[in-house]
Amino acid sequence: MSNENAVRTETAQQSDDANTVLELVGIHKQFGGETVIENLDLSVREGELLTLLGPSGCGKTTTLRLIAGLEEPDGGEIRLRGDPVAGSGSFVAPEQRDVGIVFQEFALFPHKTAEENVAFGLHDLPEAEQKQRVDDLLDLVGLEAHRESYPDELSGGQQQRVALARSLAPEPQLLLLDEPFSNLDVDLRVEMREEVRRILKEAGVTAVSVTHDQEEAMSISDRVAVMHDGNLEQVGTPEQVFQHPESRFVASFLGHASFLSGRVQEDGILTPVGSIERDRVYGLSHEYDGADIDLLVRPDDVRAEPVPKSEANGQVMHRRFLGPSILYRVELGNGDVVGCMHNHDEEVPLNEPVAVELAADHELSWFPEGVRRVARDCTPGDD
């Protein structure tokens, strides 16, 4: 590395450290002798919204509770702006961490109005400042007209706005959101995702959210941290984790995933749907020449066309009507199974021969050949 590069790297590192609000270093947590969090490292930067995403029981809520101080780690250290708050002999009580929490069920005070709920954590401020801050927050969450309403007079989305405003009122250095949309109707959930992101960004707060819903995580977050069995599988922007998953688990958890077996040759990858040029495969070095790999294909990457048997490379085994689209499951000649997404009016007959071809014009991710069954089993919504 040249000196210039060394200096640049160091400067980037320093500014990165200065921007780090939360750090989890080597965190372990057990319950009754059972390890639920194992050697977890994570850092969250100033102003970002990071979502912990994973299936039920993977340890998301426990991680959030450790950050809040509602649980103590059995190993490792948690730091807020560089200061240890848990581990290595330190433990700062939850109320002294300057961390706000928005609970799943919002936990509003039922006998206080929206305005009084928001003002709850502001008693130390002089009255005029308190009023100004409440006004600003009600304005931020779009609830000026409902300031006198009690929680049971507000819709789910409005209650969530009050809960957010109340948590933001004391200007916490970090805001935690526990499954923030799980108490809302499906339609409202989508609307509130955009609203919550807007509010957090306008407030400029650093936030960590928890969900098992991959679409929600990808639509609201700056970065997503995918958890599996108490471990962090991958951390990255929604685009990075979706387009370039680093494990089959991440590939499958973030959306429907099929794996196409291929043999790497000098000029392309030989697959059951034909040869795929090398430059269409992400980061494949010549080190893998001659190796067997599995290419990740999403349902919109492939198409199945009905053809005479002599021209076919597969057969349609299953059809799932999804409204705007139809998901066909096709078994290829070598036994690989791929999901193909078609428009709702494109009928492909069941049990008939088809030619599957690659329609994707983006780079495909790949994995060294291995057990594919595990990944298919955890594809959300797969039959």
Q: Which is nearer to ligand ATP, 36 or 276 (CB)?
A: 36
Report how far apart, in Å, the C-alpha atoms of 378 and of each of 70, 128, 250, 295, 310 are.
30, 54, 10, 17, 34
Q: Which is nearer to ligand ATP, 66 or 138 (CB)?
A: 66
Which residue blocks in 42-181 are alpha helix, DSSP H?
A: 60-68, 114-119, 127-140, 156-168
Q: Which is nearer to ligand ATP, 56 or 351 (CB)?
A: 56
Nearest to 221 by CA among 42, 22, 51, 21: 51
Side chain identity at residue 115, one-letter code: E
Considering only the stretches 54-62, 119-127, 135-143, 265-273, report the one whose residues sit in contact with ligand ATP under the rule CB under 6 A: 54-62
Q: Is 333 in the site for ligand ATP (CB under 6 A)?
A: no
Q: Is 33 in the site for ligand ATP (CB under 6 A)?
A: no
Q: Is 251 in the site for ligand ATP (CB under 6 A)?
A: no
* Contact with ligand ATP (CB under 6 A) among 51, 61, 167, 234: 61
Considering only the stretches 59-67, 263-271, 279-287, 352-360, report the one whose residues sit in contact with ligand ATP under the rule CB under 6 A: 59-67
Contact of 37 with 63, CB cutoff 8 Å: yes
Q: Is 97 in the site for ligand ATP (CB under 6 A)?
A: no
Q: Tell me the closest approach of the beta carbon of residue 30 to ligand ATP, in angstroms.
A: 9
* Contact with ligand ATP (CB under 6 A) among 49, 54, 217, 329: 54
Any idea what DSSP says for residue 100?
E
* Contact with ligand ATP (CB under 6 A) among 57, 204, 274, 290: 57
Q: Tell me the closest approach of the beta carbon of residue 67 to ligand ATP, in angstroms.
A: 12
d(CA 282, CA 371): 21
Q: Is 58 in the site for ligand ATP (CB under 6 A)?
A: yes
Q: Is 70 in the site for ligand ATP (CB under 6 A)?
A: no
Strand, helix or coil for residue 13: helix
Q: Which is nearer to ligand ATP, 54 or 76 (CB)?
A: 54
Torsion (CA) 55, 61, 62, 63 in degrees, nearest 10: 90
Burial pattern 175-199, b for ≥16 Cβ within 10 A else e, equals: bbbbbbbebbeeebbeebbebbbeb
Supply 80's token pair: 């807020």
Nearest to 99 by CA among 189, 178, 162: 178
Nearest to 42 by CA among 70, 22, 61: 22
Q: Is 62 in the site for ligand ATP (CB under 6 A)?
A: yes
Considering only the stretches 56-64, 160-168, 182-190, 366-374, report the one whose residues sit in contact with ligand ATP under the rule CB under 6 A: 56-64
Q: Is 228 in the site for ligand ATP (CB under 6 A)?
A: no
Which residues form the interface with ligand ATP (CB under 6 A)? Answer: 31-32, 36, 54, 56-62, 212
